[in-house]
Amino acid sequence: MGGAVSAGEDNDELIDNLKEAQYIRTELVEQAFRAIDRADYYLEEFKDNAYKDLAWKHGNIHLSAPCIYSEVMEALDLQPGLSFLNLGSGTGYLSSMVGLILGPFGVNHGVELHSDVIEYAKQKLDFFIKTSDSFDKFEFCEPSFVTGNCLEISPDCTQYDRVYCGAGVQKEHEDYMKNLLKVGGILVMPLEEKLTKITRTGPSAWETKKILAVSFAPLIQPNHTDSGKSKLVHLPPVAVRSLQDLARIAIRGTIKKIIHQETMSKTGNGLKNPPRFKRRRLRRRRMETIVFLDKEVFASRISNQSDDNNNSEEMEEERREEEEAKPPELKPDPPVNFLREKVLSLPLPDPLKYYLLYYREK
């Protein structure tokens, strides 16, 4: 699936193309897509294809096309503080983007059939937390992944505000999926070759909307044990944050507000850099030779070796002048992690500074 938009040179250009094609329509979704580089979820040898609007699969590792993830994120109508369940969570790419929107008081759970993919997702999550500056621009709801078949979730599990299934759902499993939702919740899943949005409007009332035609591999049916009983999947408990963690969230939030106020103050009083102008070039013109003979006038170009040499020299000189006239290419400065800089400048013991920064490497 995919190929709805042109390939990008980098993650930002891919997002620009998705916006232009109206797959990304809201600011929250755009921010989440820009914050996490899709290439980080590819194996190194396949990264050249990361910014194409195509699905990617290698063994059990799978990523849907960017246009599909865009439609899913928009359809879920995510808000801070909601609970989210990702069925077939895969690499964790989608769960991490969702976590940027849910914020510190959301719930972010994933169920994945393959244990090797769970391990891969945890490695990618750890890499994002430790190295990406985007982590400090958001308050992140870290996803938790469990191994198992999403058709075997324990019946006593909690219900969720938002649910996404990343595999084709057979009609016989539609009600099972619906029952994972709270009233008012939204379920997005491929149902009968259509990406479908189902909103639970009451205890037994639903609204259904078909979004677009898709082709997903179907859900894998449970493999019962020798005793004939299925192995139930128990989702992570909804944890209550510690007082220490709440203090960290509050302090980081206050520092971000201070940074925002300082930035607004500087922007309001600062002067923009004057625009650059290219020096206008005057091209030399070759003079034609006019010959008067008796009463006739002949216009001709007399060419000789010295003229050719002069022509080459003039062209070379023009090329040099054009090169000199070009303004130097200004490489963009690397983004500044203002939160990190501000925390490190505070008169606090180093262990407390590192705690406020989640002990991140970058």
- Give one DSSP letter per residue of 95-133, joined into a string: HHHHHHHH-TTSEEEEEES-HHHHHHHHHHHHHHHHH-T
Residue range of the domain that includes 211: 68-239
Q: Tens digit of pLDDT for each residue in 159-180?
A: 999 999 999 999 999 999 999 9
Which of the following is catalytic: 6, 64, 204, 303?
A: 64
Question: In terms of domains, do 146 and 159 share one?
Answer: yes
Question: In terms of domains, do 90 and 124 share one?
Answer: yes
Question: In terms of domains, do 235 and 255 share one?
Answer: no
User: Does 172 or 309 have the greater pLDDT score?
Assistant: 172
Considering the domain boundaries, does residue 78 fall inside one? yes
Question: In terms of domains, do 190 and 258 share one?
Answer: no
For helices 11-20 and 27-35, angle between their N-to-C axes, nearest 10 degrees: 160
Question: In terms of domains, do 235 and 109 share one?
Answer: yes
For helices 66-76 and 93-102, angle between their N-to-C axes, nearest 10 degrees: 30
Question: In terms of domains, do 209 and 253 share one?
Answer: no
Nearest-CA neighbor of 108 among 119, 100, 116? 100
Question: In terms of domains, do 178 and 86 share one?
Answer: yes
Q: Tens digit of pLDDT for each residue in 168-220?
A: 999 999 999 999 999 999 999 999 999 999 999 999 999 999 999 998 999 99
Question: In terms of domains, do 102 and 251 share one?
Answer: no
Question: In terms of domains, do 219 and 191 share one?
Answer: yes
Question: In terms of domains, do 223 and 107 share one?
Answer: yes
Question: In terms of domains, do 253 and 188 share one?
Answer: no
**Whether residue 64 lies in the annotated active site:** yes
In the chain, the number of structural domains is 2
Q: Tens digit of pLDDT for each residue in 149-159?
A: 999 999 888 99
DSSP state at residue 145: E
pLDDT of 238 reads: 84
pLDDT of 239 reads: 80
Question: Which of 239, 274, 299 is at the close of a domain?
Answer: 239
**Percent of the chain topping pLDDT 70:** 80
Q: How many CA atoms lie within 13 A of 130 on its CB side?
A: 8
